[in-house]
Structure 1
Amino acid sequence: EERSDETKGVAEAATHLTALIDARRAVEVTIGGVRRVAAIEDAGRLRDALGVPLPVGIPVAFLEPVADPLGDLVARHARTHGPFLGSAVAARFGLGSAIVRQTLQRLEADGRVTSGYFLPDPPSATEAGPRASATTAGPDETEWCDTEVLRRLRMRSLAAIRGSVEPVPPAAFARFLPEWQHLARPLDGIDGVATAIEQLAGVPIPASAWESLVLPQRVRDYTPAMLDELTSSGEVVWAGHGALPGRDGWVSLHPADLAPFTVPFAAETPEPGSLEAQLLAALASGGAYFAAQLRETTGADNEVSVVEALWNLAWSGHVTNDTFAPIRALLSGGNQAHKVARRAPRARTFRGMSLARPASAPRPLNVGGRWSLLPEAETDPARRATVSAGLLLDRYGVVTRGSVQSEGLPGGFAQAYRVLAGFEEAGHCRRGYVIEKLGAAQFAASATIDRLRTFAGLADPPPRTARTLAATDPANPYGAALGWPRRDDVSHRPGRKAGELVVLVDGALALYLGRGGKTVLAFTDDEEELRAATADLAAMAKARRLETLTVEKVNGDGMYGTAGGSLLGRLLQEAGFVATPRGYTLRKTL
């Protein structure tokens, strides 16, 4: 039956071709020894490009010469085929391969075709027709494709891939993200610090969180000297994004090669004649100077005023320092968001006289390091957006609207979407419905999606794995890629604010702590989950030497006399907190 249908189809085609020839709309010609039927409009092209003898009686209008007859024929072949070999075109038209290759190269220069390796099994020249058997495709022969045909093939292939991916629940992404950012298997040494900074390049985080929470959770043996070595050697640059109460501020870290694309644009230029303007003029030479040198250069009254002006410039995105020491010194003099307890000063005895500095004695706000201008920010928005899109993929694994919006990037999600869509067409990532409830505008590399799916396929997730993070840490998915869970019985809403903490249990948000732990929002009533959360909170606070935490309220109610307060209070006590009249307190013993 199939054979009869095929025979019938051939007969019908022959009938139609005969009708076209009789109507003078097509002509019979011989191309490369094979009888073919061609549109009469191509008569002149076939004669001039291939030397084909034409039948008599063709109207003169169809015999007029054209500018590029062979280019027209080859371009049409490309438009009506998928990826093909030049040898196949040569066999079809009875031409030498060199002539066809030159024609294709001209078309490629005009942007009409492109070359490469598009198919897993390249077609042999015999697929072109009866005469093609004389030509054998080499294993490394370049394939060609019309640019518009290739674009359509890519878009249809990507659409098919998107439809084949089953989205994972948001909880899977919440488990995936901390591991993606090296919290589950921390890095080691100064190279680990550099790797962590590269993944977090350009993200503003409270200065007090960088060395108390963010870097130590990613690098198991982290010490401040590692960061200082990277900054003093010029491998890493830090930049300010605005001051916070308590001598804290938003700070980002940047690998030097990425800094022009990730440093913030500087705020308005200081008023002429101001100390800030004089400092910028002094630093414009390109050098790096200690604060004392800048005082001499500017003729300022004292070094304190110079340091204060430098911090004004730092928070407005103008200057930086070649160590992190000034930030540490600044933080030690105020109530920063993630305050770390200071060690008691060491005492020395000289001839029976104590030389220990009193803990309350005033100290310089700047303890060293040389100040310089930040690298000049790249002004081309397209180049910045391209680098930012690549960093987003590296930072989050899966880029969503929420993760882009949480960073406040110039151009917002619309700009990032355009760049990531270009990445998709180039094969660098895929777009699709990767995480449930977050829309179809999500981007990730294929390998990342496969890795993410392993977190959705866990039949038995790690038992009660808790993790305490700064709310502003990019490893916290809530308030960014994922929305905050809601409690209808509480008016207070969580946010990605400086000084706030979150505790995740198996990726789910269990606790949210306001600054200093005074207000707690509990998003689970499960006692075992709360036990894991409070234990990790206490362990983290002790390990990172955070200042005193005092929990006074849970879900808007006092800690005493309520069911929620009683349960959480008991678990806090198990973790090492102490009951006080105000609530439950965990003090840091020096």
Structure 2
Amino acid sequence: MESLGIPRDDIVYALGRLENEGVVLRGSFRTEVEEEEFCYRRILSRIHRSTIDTLRREVEPVPPSAFMRFLLCWQHVDPAVRLRGEGGLLAAIEQLQGFESASGAIEEEVLLSRVSDYDPVMLDRLCLGGEVLWGRVSLQTDGDQNGGPPPLGRSSFSRATPITMVLRDSLDWILGPNGQDAEGLTGAAKEVVEALSRRGASFLSDIVSATQRLPSDIEEALWTLAASGRVTVDGVEALRQRLGGTARRPRRNGRDNRGNRRSGLDRRRGYSRWSLLESFDPVDDRSEPIARQLLDRYGVIFPELLARDALTYRWRDLVRVLRRLEARGEIRGGRFVSGFIGEQFALPEAVELLRKTRNADPDGSFIALSACDPLNLAGIISPGHRVPSVVRNRLVVRDGLPIASMENGSIVELANVDPEIMDQAKIALSVPISHAGDPMDRPDLVSV
């Protein structure tokens, strides 16, 4: 400043006025300079764009098979990096929240394949402690885009009904601004929603008293509402009971022994409270939290990868958020996986793990996945046949490539490999994902 022959205070004053006008920016732009600096806004923008372009050029894309091996590690499905304990289960749920899997597979196969010492009691504690809840959220987000509550389906809850485990703190942005009301409902379902709206979370017996209907009618209405994404129940005991046996049906003649009403209910189901599945402090713009969740789930994201994800947002809206995060230096942009066009984005730690995975030699191990697992990406990131996301369907992956699948009890070969490798893949398909002798195999023995 002295070289200009102008007093320092005058220069600082002039730069301050230019800063107020948006012409220059104040900050620290060079590591070797300790004092405060000013930079012309357009010059800084050019430097920023040049830096981002340089970082993008540094990325070397990996083949889809290497990306699949990366995903198996990133989501802790690879046995070498599986999670442990209740904290590990919570981390797995946080990573997967928003992705809907069939209710008959989400606990028995999806969570079990990520937590090596999984015990159903862990999930009980997380749910009953108020940290985790379950529900069907995709119909809620569809209702948000259509401007109304989710429609009431005709079918009741079954093992095929898609649900997700969600951290209670994340419910506001996962569900969005939709509220729950009785509009469009009739009969027992309408009365149940009205009762829950008035009374809040309620036990089954309380809802029966409020509606003066048969317990069997109320129970079936609750599960129909749960299947349509309108209600949930605290804990997973009621869910296990529903999936483990046949739902009670009302008698044809409509009679019921009212004097013995409580004894007619399954008492273990009565321990859980039902409530409306709705957000408490809705988030209007859900694009950024959804973008961050998808990055946390996959590490690297691009449109094709999200084909089965219920939490997807319009890609053009996500791209705006992702570019903003890239400009802040929070994520990286570029082409990380070959064979796909368009922009791709990744977390910095995912880029590092992707490099390590690419440089590591495949070990030839077989990993079995449920077809309802988020990593059932056969036919999506790899060419060929898609494995339907149906309960009891499974597939086996070797070195990042899908080798074979079991669909409706039949083996389907997904790759041309040596007969010996195919035989080993078929053996892997026959081994259950759940632990042999674990209480998970006998829901009636699970205790809370």
**Interval containing the TM-score (normalised by the shorter chain):** 0.7 to 0.9
Cα pair 2:93 2:165 within 8 Å, conserved: yes
Could you tell me how far 1:397 is from its partner in structure 2? 0.8
Q: Residue 442 of structure 2 aligns with which residue?
A: none
Q: Give the Cα separation in 2 of the matches to 1:479 and 1:118.
A: 47
Q: Residue 315 of structure 1 aligns with which residue?
A: 227
Could you tell me how far 1:420 is from its partner in structure 2? 0.7
Cα pair 2:371 2:387 within 8 Å, conserved: no
Q: Give the Cα separation in 2 of the matches to 1:536 and 1:244.
A: 33
Give the AA of the match of 2:194: A
Cα pair 1:239 1:374 within 8 Å, conserved: yes
Q: Residue 454 of structure 1 aligns with which residue?
A: 356
1:348-396 per-residue CA deviation (whole Å, 9 max, x = no partner) reads xxxxxxxxxxxxx9968945311112232776553x1100100111110
Q: Give the Cα separation in 1 of the matches to 2:280 and 2:206.
A: 26
Mean CA deviation greater in 449-458 or 174-183:
449-458
Q: Residue 256 of structure 1 aligns with which residue?
A: 168
Cα pair 1:248 1:330 within 8 Å, conserved: no
2:63 is aligned with 1:181:
no
CA change 1:373–1:322 in 2 (3 A) is same
Cα pair 1:405 1:413 within 8 Å, conserved: no
1:248-289 per-residue CA deviation (whole Å, 9 max, x = no partner) reads 311111112111111375788443653222222222246321
Q: Give the Cα separation in 2 of the matches to 1:537 and 1:367.
A: 38
Q: Aligned to 1:120, which of 15, 31, 34?
A: 31
Give the AA of the match of 2:296: D
CA change 1:513–1:111 in 2 (3 A) is farther
Q: Aligned to 2:369, which of 469, 481, 484?
A: 469
Q: Residue 478 of structure 1 aligns with which residue?
A: 378
Mean CA deviation greater in 437-446 or 264-273:
264-273
Cα pair 1:267 1:317 within 8 Å, conserved: no
Cα pair 2:290 2:313 within 8 Å, conserved: no
Q: Give the Cα separation in 1 of the matches to 2:372 and 2:342.
A: 26
Q: Residue 406 of structure 1 aligns with which residue?
A: 308
Q: Give the Cα separation in 2 of the matches to 1:334 and 1:259.
A: 30
Larger radius of gyration: 1
CA change 1:232–1:445 in 2 (3 A) is same
Mean CA deviation greater in 178-187 or 268-277:
268-277
Could you tell me how far 1:432 is from its partner in structure 2? 0.8
Q: Give the Cα separation in 2 of the matches to 1:192 and 1:314.
A: 27
SS in structure 2 of the partner of residue 543 of structure 1: coil
- TM-score, normalised to structure 1's length? 0.63
CA change 1:172–1:162 in 2 (3 A) is same
CA change 1:286–1:392 in 2 (3 A) is farther
Q: Give the Cα separation in 2 of the matches to 1:248 and 1:497.
A: 7
Could you tell me how far 1:536 is from its partner in structure 2? 2.5
Cα pair 1:319 1:373 within 8 Å, conserved: yes
Mean CA deviation greater in 385-394 or 407-416:
407-416
Q: Aligned to 2:292, which of 367, 387, 390?
A: 390
SS in structure 2 of the partner of residue 407 of structure 1: coil
Q: Give the Cα separation in 2 of the matches to 1:499 and 1:104.
A: 68
Higher relative contact order (CA 8 A, sep 6+): 2
Give the AA of the match of 2:376: N
Q: Give the Cα separation in 2 of the matches to 1:374 and 1:93.
A: 69
Could you tell me how far 1:191 is from its partner in structure 2? 0.8
2:37 is aligned with 1:143:
yes
2:271 is aligned with 1:368:
yes
SS in structure 1 of the partner of residue 307 of structure 2: helix
CA RMSD, Structure 1 to Structure 2 (Å): 2.9
Q: Residue 520 of structure 1 aligns with which residue?
A: 412
Q: Residue 8 of structure 1 aligns with which residue?
A: none
Cα pair 1:465 1:532 within 8 Å, conserved: no
2:441 is aligned with 1:539:
no
Q: Aligned to 2:112, which of 216, 219, 227?
A: 216
CA change 1:499–1:262 in 2 (3 A) is farther
Cα pair 2:104 2:159 within 8 Å, conserved: no
Give the AA of the match of 2:120: P
Identical residues among aligned pairs (%): 30
Q: Residue 397 of structure 2 aligns with which residue?
A: 504
SS in structure 1 of the partner of residue 432 of structure 2: helix
1:167-211 per-residue CA deviation (whole Å, 9 max, x = no partner) reads 111111011101101122111111111100110111111111111
Q: Residue 47 of structure 2 aligns with which residue?
A: 153
Could you tell me how far 1:92 is from its partner in structure 2? 3.8
Cα pair 1:406 1:479 within 8 Å, conserved: no
Q: Give the Cα separation in 2 of the matches to 1:397 and 1:286.
A: 42
Give the AA of the match of 2:241: A
Q: Give the Cα separation in 1 of the matches to 2:415 and 2:117.
A: 32
Cα pair 2:157 2:223 within 8 Å, conserved: no
1:402-436 per-residue CA deviation (whole Å, 9 max, x = no partner) reads 12333254642222111111111111111111111
- Structure 1: state its 5+ residue gaps: 1-87, 123-138, 336-360, 487-492, 547-590
Q: Give the Cα separation in 2 of the matches to 1:376 and 1:165.
A: 40
Q: Residue 230 of structure 1 aligns with which residue?
A: 126
Q: Give the Cα separation in 1 of the matches to 2:27 and 2:421.
A: 55
Aligned length: 403
CA change 1:103–1:536 in 2 (3 A) is farther
CA change 1:93–1:542 in 2 (3 A) is same
CA change 1:113–1:495 in 2 (3 A) is farther
Q: Give the Cα separation in 2 of the matches to 1:163 and 1:379.
A: 39
1:482-534 per-residue CA deviation (whole Å, 9 max, x = no partner) reads 04425xxxxxx53344442111011110012213x235234233234224323
Mean CA deviation greater in 211-220 or 310-319:
310-319
Cα pair 1:178 1:476 within 8 Å, conserved: no
1:85-144 per-residue CA deviation (whole Å, 9 max, x = no partner) reads xxx5x76462224x544554454455443333333333xxxxxxxxxxxxxxxx3x2333
Q: Residue 445 of structure 2 aligns with which residue?
A: none
Cα pair 1:468 1:503 within 8 Å, conserved: yes
Q: Residue 444 of structure 2 aligns with which residue?
A: none
CA change 1:247–1:507 in 2 (3 A) is closer
Q: Give the Cα separation in 2 of the matches to 1:315 and 1:143.
A: 59
Cα pair 2:156 2:224 within 8 Å, conserved: no
Give the AA of the match of 1:446: P
Cα pair 1:248 1:331 within 8 Å, conserved: no
Q: Residue 96 of structure 1 aligns with which residue?
A: 8
Cα pair 2:157 2:227 within 8 Å, conserved: no
- Give 1:335-346 correspondences, 5 Å limit: none
